[in-house]
Structure 1
Amino acid sequence: MSLPDPRRQKQLMKLLERLELPPDVSVRWDLLDLALTHSTVSPTENYEQLEFMGDAVVRLATAEFLMETYPDWPVGEFAALRSILVSDRRLAQIADRYGFDRFLLVGSSVAGNRAGQETRLAESFEAVLGALYLSTHDLSLVRPWLDTHLQEFAEEIRSDPARQNYKAALQEWTQARYQCRPEYQVQEVSQIYNDTKRFRAEVWVRDRHVGSGSGRSIKAAEQAAAQEAFLLLSQSSNPDLDSHLA
Structure 2
Amino acid sequence: MSSIPPQRQKQLQKLLQKLGLPEGVLANWSLLDLALTHSSACASANYEKLEFVGDAAIRLAAAEFLWQTYPNFEVGEFAAIRSVLVSDRILAQIARSYGLERYLLVAGSATGDKAGMASRLADALEAIAAALYLSTYTLELVRPWLDSHFQTLTEEIRACPARQNYKAALQEWTQAQYKLLPEYRVVEINPIHGSSERFSAEVWLQNRCLGKGKGRSIKTAEQEAARTAFQTATGESSEFGSRNLQL
Shorter-chain TM-score tier: over 0.9
In 1, the alpha carbon distance for the partners of 2:17 and 2:98 equals 10
Q: CA deviation at 1:227?
A: 1.4
2:89 touches 2:118 (CA, 8 Å); kept in 1? yes
User: Where do residues 141-156 of structure 1 align in structure 2 (5 Å cutoff)?
Assistant: 141-156=141-156
- Within the candidate set 229, 233, 241, 1:238 is matched to 241
User: Where do residues 41-52 of structure 1 align in structure 2 (5 Å cutoff)?
Assistant: 41-52=41-52
Q: TM-score, normalised by structure 1?
A: 0.94
The residue type equivalent to 2:197 in the other structure is K
Task: Find the residue that maps to 1:111 and give its secondary structure.
Answer: helix
Task: Give 1:160's aligned residue.
Answer: 160
Q: 1:183-238: CA deviations, max 9, x gaps?
A: 11111223323233222111012221111112232222211211111121122563
5+ residue gaps in structure 1?
none
In 2, the alpha carbon distance for the partners of 1:77 and 1:94 equals 22
In 1, the alpha carbon distance for the partners of 2:91 and 2:36 equals 15
Q: How many residues align?
A: 244
The residue type equivalent to 2:139 in the other structure is L
In 2, the alpha carbon distance for the partners of 1:3 and 1:152 equals 38
Q: 1:23 to 1:224 in 2, by over 3 A?
A: same
2:235 touches 2:241 (CA, 8 Å); kept in 1? no
Q: CA deviation at 1:178?
A: 2.5
User: Where do residues 166-181 of structure 1 align in structure 2 (5 Å cutoff)?
Assistant: 166-181=166-181
In 2, the alpha carbon distance for the partners of 1:196 and 1:77 equals 23
Percent same amino acid at aligned positions?
58
2:4 touches 2:30 (CA, 8 Å); kept in 1? no
Task: Give 1:33's aligned residue.
Answer: 33
Task: Give 2:59's aligned residue.
Answer: 59
Task: Find the residue that maps to 1:187 and give its secondary structure.
Answer: strand
In 2, the alpha carbon distance for the partners of 1:73 and 1:4 equals 45
Q: TM-score, normalised by structure 2?
A: 0.93
198-207 vs 95-104, which moves further: 198-207
2:31 touches 2:131 (CA, 8 Å); kept in 1? yes
User: Where do residues 120-135 of structure 1 align in structure 2 (5 Å cutoff)?
Assistant: 120-135=120-135
| Cα-Cα RMSD | 1.5
104-113 vs 151-160, which moves further: 104-113
In 2, the alpha carbon distance for the partners of 1:243 and 1:225 equals 16
In 2, the alpha carbon distance for the partners of 1:194 and 1:148 equals 36
The residue type equivalent to 2:241 in the other structure is N
